[in-house]
């Protein structure tokens, strides 16, 4: 196993950070890797907002549903779905942009953001930093738009807190790989037994971590996926020019 694979397979979301600042040289290197990441049609419809200011990080922590590690980490990088930028390019070519109203456009942008987020996480870890990805900022999309002064046709999709780790996190178990890798065709018969095994593993993990009221995986995911957990998001995006048809 080479160093890169070793780094990737040791993924964990760090939520305890030192007060030590991150040098601009390191931060710039991380952003450069994100800037060079793949993009659908080379559209480059993702932008980033780097936040160091403590008061802004504190506000983001609140908007993300109360995530204190956003406030304690010295840097938070927000990834922006940026159809404002692409609309300007389309206009320069003498046309009017339509893709920001389409599901495909949003899926393409979200895919690119996921690639960029993963790239930044790997780069940061390779430099000795810890990271935690954050999607909770979509819980208050309008407030994030206002806080970061985002233009029309944009919104904050996700982000990443980074810094030097204080107390390393434990690595969570994953579903058996039989539920993830399917050869030639999807095998639905592999799923049920894999979930049963993983439910036991997750419950044991949380018990080892002495988590109050530990849950298995099925119970945990049902708390979110049994309903639309962000019903206000569509209207908040529509208010900023992203009216998906």
SS3 content of the chain, % helix, strand, coil (to 5): 50, 15, 35
pTM: 0.95
Look at residue 17 in the predicted model and tell me its pLDDT.
98
Q: Which residues of the chain have pLDDT under 70?
A: none
Look at residue 137 in the predicted model and tell me its pLDDT.
98
Look at residue 1 in the predicted model and tell me its pLDDT.
78
Look at residue 245 in the predicted model and tell me its pLDDT.
85
Helix (H) / strand (E) containing 59? helix 54-63
Look at residue 53 in the predicted model and tell me its pLDDT.
98
Dihedral over Cα of 101, 86, 142, 72: its sign? positive
Look at residue 90 in the predicted model and tell me its pLDDT.
98
Where along the chain do its domains lie? 3-169, 171-227
Look at residue 85 in the predicted model and tell me its pLDDT.
98
The CATH number for 3-169, chosen from 3.40.109.10, 3.40.605.10, 3.20.20.70, 3.40.640.10, is: 3.40.109.10
What three-state secondary structure class fits 156? strand
């Amino acid at each position: 196993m080479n160093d890169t694979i070793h780094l990737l397979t040791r993924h964990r979301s760090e939520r305890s950070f030192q007060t030590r600042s991150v040098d601009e040289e390191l931060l710039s290197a991380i952003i450069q890797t994100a800037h060079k990441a793949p993009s659908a049609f080379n559209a480059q419809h993702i932008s980033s907002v780097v936040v160091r200011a403590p008061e802004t990080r504190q506000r983001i922590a609140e908007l993300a549903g109360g995530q204190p590690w956003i406030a304690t980490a010295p840097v938070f990088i927000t990834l922006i779905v940026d159809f404002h930028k692409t609309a300007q390019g389309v206009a320069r070519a003498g046309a009017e942009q339509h893709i920001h109203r389409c599901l495909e456009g949003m899926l393409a942008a979200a895919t690119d953001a996921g690639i960029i987020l993963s790239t930044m996480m790997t780069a940061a870890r390779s430099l000795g930093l810890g990271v935690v990805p954050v999607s909770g900022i979509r819980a208050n999309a309008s407030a994030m738009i206002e806080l970061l002064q985002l233009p029309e046709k944009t919104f904050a999709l996700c982000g990443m807190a980074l810094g030097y780790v204080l107390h390393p996190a434990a690595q969570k178990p994953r579903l058996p790989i039989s539920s993830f890798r399917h050869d030639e065709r999807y095998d639905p018969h592999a799923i049920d037994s894999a979930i049963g095994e993983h439910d036991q593993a997750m419950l044991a993990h949380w018990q080892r971590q002495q988590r109050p009221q530990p849950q298995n995986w099925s119970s945990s995911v049902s708390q979110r996926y049994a309903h639309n957990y962000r019903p206000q998001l569509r209207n908040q995006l529509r208010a900023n020019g992203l009216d998906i048809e």
